[in-house]
Amino acid sequence: MEEKMESDKRIKRYNMLRGFKFKEAWMKVREVRYDDLVRWMYCPTDPSSLGVVRFLFGLLMLVDLPEERGGSDIDLRWGDPRDCHFPLFPILKNPGFPCMCLLYLAMWFGALGIMLGYKFRNCVLLFGVPYWYILLLDKSYWNNHSYLFGIVTILLLGSSANHFLSLDGYLDESKRNKHVPYWNYFILKYQFFMLYFLAGLKKTDMEWLEGYSMKNLGGHWVFLPFQLILSSDKIDYLVVHWFGFLLDLTIGFWMLVELTRPIAMLFCACFHLMNSRLFSIGMFPYVCLATMPLFCSESWPRRIQAVFTKNNLDPGPSSVCIYPQDENKAKKEVNGYFLERNVRWKHRLVVVLLIGHCGLQMFLPYSHFITKGYNNWTKGLYGYSWDMMVHSWDTILVVVKVVDNNSGREYFVDSGAWTQNDRWNKHADMCVQYAHCLKNNLLEESKLAEGSLQADAMSNYITSENISVYVDVWCSLNKRFQQRMYDPNYDLLQANWSPFKKVEWLMPVLSEYNHFRSTMNEISKEVYSWSNNSDVLFIADFPGMYLENFISEELRNVTLTVLEGEVVFEVEDQDTLQSLGATLRKGDHVPVETGVFHKVHTVSKAPSCYMYTFVRDASSEEEEVVRSYTMYSPFPLLEDVWNRARAFATMWEHIGGSFLFLLFGRPYHLRSKK
């Protein structure tokens, strides 16, 4: 009997576990847990720290607009309709100088509204929409901090950052000094925590840890205390690379802990101030300084305010927060508006979006296995990857060749023609965009030449649309040999490019010669010891290819030395117009004549490595003064203020000129590019 009763109990428990009641109970548990998270995200929090951060962010964006956003150079960036731009989406087009001036004007008023907290959400949109449009309009200007500023703008859009230190609070009592949901702080803290942490994770790359990413920084005046005990090379390796790696990787954790926060914020502040002097990165260090208080107690400004006033400064209840239940009522009326008591679907949706944003920010920096078309020697586009300063580039040569397939003529185009900077040539997708832009401009010039009826001039232009564009880029990544980046025989106008496919004309980095970097460093030190103007250039090339080079007459004592492989050195005799060649193997060297072209063919089965040693003419005194000022002068605060004031005035000159054009048809002035 007892056995039967025990068996019945087991069956009953089994049926209960597999039945609907168990599922219903489990769903309730899950719902309760999620709603607890929602309540935590919406719990009332002091608005003062968020208000101060909002004010500082808006102020810094006002300063940033004339500078890194290009407000002082609107005419140079957007004035010439023939200039090549590199939009992320082809549908985005340059609307022209007058319209771009209006967009910058909208951003300026938007940033001002963010700072003052006036019509807050409208001003965030007024700033954010043009900001993202201009950012997506040209990938060649992308930076990590440009992406960061855009993300912060989106996060501020849904926040209640105008509940403190704002005109909205002054004009509307329901917003004046009222609680804000905790998620307003959480999501911003998360974003800046990930900024540091992901930058640290990216620095686990051996290129960074072995000290090859950054160079020649140890002589800067910001490292004067370290220069007393360390050499310049040791400062580059230990302070710049290793200390930078450890700080980025751990500083977010130290600032989250109250016990370690003061010393962590001191190190972080010094780090950002040093970066502001070392690099030209605009407002990024200052934005990081302005957002550091997010990691402190939310009420820290109120404590400072309490020192100067005896009034009751405690924040009041707000309708945007969720308060504890009171007498089982969903809402409670206070001062004419209702306080939310229960979790609603809107609250749950916002928390889902926040969780989605957190997941997206963790995924995007490692999403390059999907967007293979944007992978080159480095993975992904610069911006959302957070690989800050991990890769250094040194480009010596960019050759753009246009071939008229009808006439067989070849034209060489200046790689700086119709471009704003040289970042495009490091990215295969931008090279394709440049090739098509170049074709359109050449066809337009050809048509203008036809219309001018100048028969002699026609020989300098293409004869049809049947052309090919080839790009040969020689650069060094992280102190390696200079080598070509793309197949120079690949027609970019016929490129088979897709965001989801590997770039088929990309040449691999010659990583098998990484060990040569220490040898190259030793050779460089020896060459530099010859004289103040001696220099060396290291080059590697692939089998079956050749480098055609022209040595300027400003150089003296030029010598080619083979370090690895086998090459044929070929130079054209000016008297007989015949090519004379000599085979060179490892250790061989040959003097190089200046003022004429020569070719270096790689004939070995493996890539060749060789170097040019030479002596430059004496550097100009002006260049030496600029270098000395940059490396050794104290804070150039007065110069910074003057340059920013001048940039601000120039931006408003452009905006004023565009208004006169739109209203009265008065022609505007565009500066010529130097």
Cα–Cα distance between 645 and 650 in angstroms, integer?
A: 9
Contact (CB, 8 A) for 67 and 411: no
Give the CB-side neighbour count of residue 627, counting CA atoms within 13 A.
9
CA angle 211, 373, 505 (to 5 degrees): 85
Cα separation, 648 vs 639, in Å, equals 14
The closest alpha carbon to 51, from 186, 205, 169, belongs to 169
Is there a catalytic annotation at residue 189?
Answer: no
What one-letter code names the amino acid at 390? Answer: V
Report which secondary-structure segment, H or E, holds 617.
Answer: none
Q: CA angle at residue 108 from 673 to 641, to 5 degrees?
A: 65
Catalytic residue among 139, 202, 203, 426: 203
The separation between the first and the last C-alpha atoms of the chain, rounded to the nearest angstrom, is: 102
- What is the spatial distance between Cα 573 and Cα 598, in angstroms, rounded to a whole number? 10
Residue showing tokens 């910058």:
104
Give the list of residues 6+ apart from residue 428 with CB closer than 8 angstroms, or none: 373, 376, 486, 495, 497, 503, 505, 506
- Hey, how many other C-beta atoms are within 10 angstroms of the C-beta on 354? 19
Residue type, 573: D
Distances (CA, A) of 228 to 182, 224, 271: 47, 7, 19
Q: Which active-site residues does the annotation give?
A: 203
